[in-house]
Structure 1
């Protein structure tokens, strides 16, 4: 039996992961850390309203969990300032990771992005890569870094640009072969299911999961 703590469950990917976790008999309990009450608490799910930017205040809620899932991030990065993006997509997940490690959480799963690279000239990819480097340095027994490309949601949540991408990307997917397979779009439900099912896998060390690994895990 596994106990899981989550940061970011109110988002699309986090919500999908939570739905899968709730249906898994091997998951004993799920603790949600939320900025505000979401109404997601229920059978085997408890919610703690916390400040995600103050890890010291929520650290007491982390003990006794074997795994952590972090899907926290700004909804539309292109419309966030660099300072806000860094605070939400880098600083908060990094602090959450450190607090989880200090509390004895063995496995940490992170929603990152394809192309994450601390040496990238692209701010978004560089920030994600710097976060991953920080988590790697903490020495988790197991660290799962999920690298999706376009996340396909049932609804358009962010306006015309997302509507265009959601319409076009499924048609592009069959054309993305070979080294380009990692850029294939993935349904949000499949991504969330993969992150949830990953908590039951064995192994140790760092694993980067791209399109093939994510879709295979979602299908289990």
Structure 2
């Protein structure tokens, strides 16, 4: 029996009702992989999907909660009842513009985290980025760093931050430059030093949730940060 399977059994024994998880960004590539992992894992009995539109998925374990992220104060109830929260929410500067990118990746995320904490969530998972740094001169890594700090301030009993490298996936939306980068990287990064499949990130988040032996690196702030290599170790059986 693998360590992960053993931990799943431990978690199942802890609660006959199973775990209620809430997912933000379920229509994105990591989010879609995550939902699939949660669906097939018996440790999770309920999956709350919060988003702007209903997830195109029919399953008795899934509950869709539609919100307007521009009016999140009016949707606090959508963030109730979850024991574990997963945030895969994000956009791009090319799609939303600089201000729109910051609005989604920083403001929506930090505000949602606040409401989740108020709603009783005890473990929050945040997808950030390799190189996240609030002092960075680059908008993307700067915004990710600012988001990490804002979520830390929320004060979750346990906060897990993931900093993946280039995400490898087959997106439905067109991102020409990213597609070219993925093709190049797939050719030589076979050890995933500068890239990582989206399903591996999803696997890592689920494994970390179920690992009853997991400990945070800072008892004071209750925060654990997983760099790309850490995510690979967690996400691969």
Task: Say yes or no: TM over 0.5.
Answer: yes
**What's the CA shift for 1:9?**
0.2
How do 1:1-220 and structure 2 match up within 5 A? 1-74=18-91, 76-155=92-171, 157-173=173-189, 181=193, 184-202=194-212, 203-204=215-216, 205-220=222-237
CA distance in 1, matches of 2:107, 2:71: 10
Give the TM-score normalised by the residue count of structure 1: 0.89
Q: Name structure 1 gaps, 5 residues minimum.
A: none
CA deviation string 1:105-132 (max 9, x = no partner):
1111111100011111111111110110
TM-score normalised to structure 2 length: 0.83
C-alpha distance 96-41 of structure 1, shift in aligned 2 (>3 A): farther
Cα distance in 2, alignment partners of residues 56 and 126 from structure 1: 26
* Alpha-carbon contact 1:18-1:196 (below 8 Å) kept: no
Aligned partners of 1:41 and 1:47 also within 8 Å: no
4+ aligned runs moved over 4 Å, structure 1: none
CA distance in 2, matches of 1:131, 1:154: 26
8 Å CA contact 1:111–1:146 kept in 2: the answer is yes
Query: What is the SS of the residue equivalent to 1:137?
Result: helix
Q: How many residues align?
A: 213
Give the superposed CA RMSD. 1.9
Q: 1:201 deviation in Å?
A: 2.9
Q: 1:187, CA displacement in angstroms?
A: 0.8
